Amino acid sequence: MIAENGVDDHAGLSDVWHLRLYVAGQSPKSLRALANLKTLCEEHLAGRYEIEVVDLVADPAQARSDDILAIPTLIRRLPPPLRKIIGDLSNTERVLVGLRLEPGPQ
């Protein structure tokens, strides 16, 4: 899987990042996290990212699928492997480490 992905990355075919943000309604932390995420993606992944926002208040059953405890939680679904970070994403440096978005490979 990883090898295949490595090939894909080299070929630059599928480089779209799929990020899922779990929030709980319109709480300040949730809103802040979404804003921070958007800023960050624009800066590092311009044009090749998708953000999916899941509101657990509206759909509590979703919390089971990714074992969500903390809010907000950000999941990097693509590219694999799956990565999970928590918090309102205000510490940019840690977000980059968490998402393996170091400038190096780019």
Partner 1 sequence: MTPTSAIEPDRKTATPHKLTELPKAPTGISGLDEVTGGGLPRGRPTLVCGPAGCGKTLLAMEFLVRGITQYQEPGVFVAFEETTEDLVANVASLGFDLRKFEAEGQLVLEHINVASGDIEDTGDWDLDGLFIRLGAALDTSGAKRIVIDTIETLFGGFTNTATLRSELQRLFGWLKSRGVTAVITAERGDGTLTRHGIEEYVSDCVIVLDHRVTEQTSTRRLRILKYRGSLHGTNEYPFLIGENGVSVLPITSPGLRHSVSANRVSTGVARLDSMLGGGGYYQGSTVLVSGTAGTGKSTLAAQFCHAACSRGERAMFFAFEESEAEILRNMASVGVDLRPWVDQGLLKFQCFRPNLLGLEGHLFSMQKWLTEFDPAVIVKDPVSDLLRIGSPADVSAMLSRQVDFLKAKGVTALFTSLNSGADSVVSAEQITSLVDTWLEVKTLEGNGELNRVLYVLKSRGMAHSNQIREFLLTDQGIELADVYVGPQGVLTGSARQAQEAQEDADGALRREDLEQRQSNLERRRETVEAQAAALWREFDDEADVVKRLLNVGSDRVEDRAGQRAEQGRLRRADTDEAGDLAHNGAS
Which is nearer to partner 1, 7 or 57 (by Cβ)? 57
- Whether the Cβ atoms of residue 98 and residue 83 lie closer than 8 Å to each other: yes
Q: How far is the CB of 93 from partner 1 (least distance, A)?
A: 9
User: Any residues with CB less than 8 A from the CB of 26 and at least 6 apart, and which?
Assistant: none
Binding partner 1 (rule: CB under 8 A), the pick from 45, 73, 79, 101 is 73
User: Any residues with CB less than 8 A from the CB of 2 and at least 6 apart, and which?
Assistant: 80, 81
Binding partner 1 (rule: CB under 8 A), the pick from 33, 41, 45, 101 is 33
Partners of residue 22 on adjacent β-strands: 54, 73
Binding partner 1 (rule: CB under 8 A), the pick from 29, 51, 77, 78 is 29
How does DSSP classify residue 83? E
Summarize as ranges the residues that interact with partner 1 (CB under 8 A).
Answer: 22, 24-25, 27, 29, 32-33, 36, 56-57, 60-61, 63-64, 67-74, 84-91, 94-95, 97-98
